[in-house]
Homo-oligomer: A and B are copies of this chain.
């Protein structure tokens, strides 16, 4: 890769530039963001070599174009750049849902370019940083969602980029991806939203807010950011999230009955949850060590 264009310079896009510029033979990185401030910030951090205000110009001469905008802006941006993409160029995105984006990308991009959807399972919280950092991608699982229409060369180029920034490629069908992330990412976020909305609008909130500490902090933390981003994401994944929500509400109904009946089985439920969580924690550590 001689030249990479990053469209969208939020934390993930800027971090990608930082990771690419740290390589032994770094590509030239062209950056673009609808907010010029964001592009300037990325330039100042040396995440990108050059700002280009027009996305159709930004993609000119690039081997790889990474769309790192919010999910709601991706399709329109792909349509905007479609005619300007150089022949043989590879396009990918990092959106949190893949079904719709992959469908729209395959519909609107010319056959002279290859597209493969992507979704790095990381962010500032996961990586323990509070701003752009090359380390966000290190050790992270990076979903790639090729279809029957994806040219093998496009897969190769993006897999190579994923390896170079220290992440681990994970191949998954776009629809399956959306079902999986609905459970492990969108559902926890929505629970956090429901918790703060439910408790902070109660008559007793004034007193509760004074007493709330670590547990409430952890339980509502996910609701603290990304409302606009998640609104876009959920708009493309409502069916999957609703399905997981049904199962969860079934579980809550069962717990509620046990609470009201003083059922000793409640203790087993809590212990089972503790074990399941510990097993996942152990698995994560093993995976990270590999």
Contact = CB atoms under 8 A, between A and B. Distances in A.
Interface string A217-258: 111111111111011001100110110111111111101100
Interface stretch (A27-35, A42-50, A102-110, A272-280): A272-280
Given A222-B218, A231-B267, A249-B249, A195 B188 contact: yes
Contacts of A253: 249
A246 to B, nearest CB: 8
Contacts of A230: 270
Interface stretch (A2-10, A12-20, A178-186): A178-186
17 contacts: A121-B213, A126-B217, A187-B199, A189-B215, A195-B248, A198-B244, A198-B247, A209-B283, A223-B276, A224-B277, A224-B281, A227-B271, A227-B273, A228-B270, A241-B259, A246-B256, A249-B252
Contacts of A212: 121, 184-185, 280, 284
A131 B207 CA distance: 29
Given A195-B187, A277-B196, A211 B121 contact: yes
A200 B280 contact: yes
A115 B8 CA distance: 62
A234 B201 CA distance: 23
A265 to B, nearest CB: 10
A211 B168 CA distance: 11
Interface string A82-120: 000000000000000000000000000000000000000
The 7 closest A-B pairs by CB, nearest first: A188-B219, A126-B214, A238-B259, A231-B267, A125-B214, A227-B270, A184-B212
Q: State how many copies of this chain the complex holds.
A: 2
Interface of A: 121-123, 125-127, 140-141, 143, 170, 172, 176, 179-181, 183-185, 187-202, 204, 207-228, 230-231, 234-235, 238-239, 241-242, 244-253, 255-256, 259-260, 262, 266-267, 269-274, 276-281, 283-284, 287
A207 B172 contact: yes
B271 A223 contact: no
Nearest to A192: B219
Contacts of A211: 121, 141, 143, 170, 180-181, 184
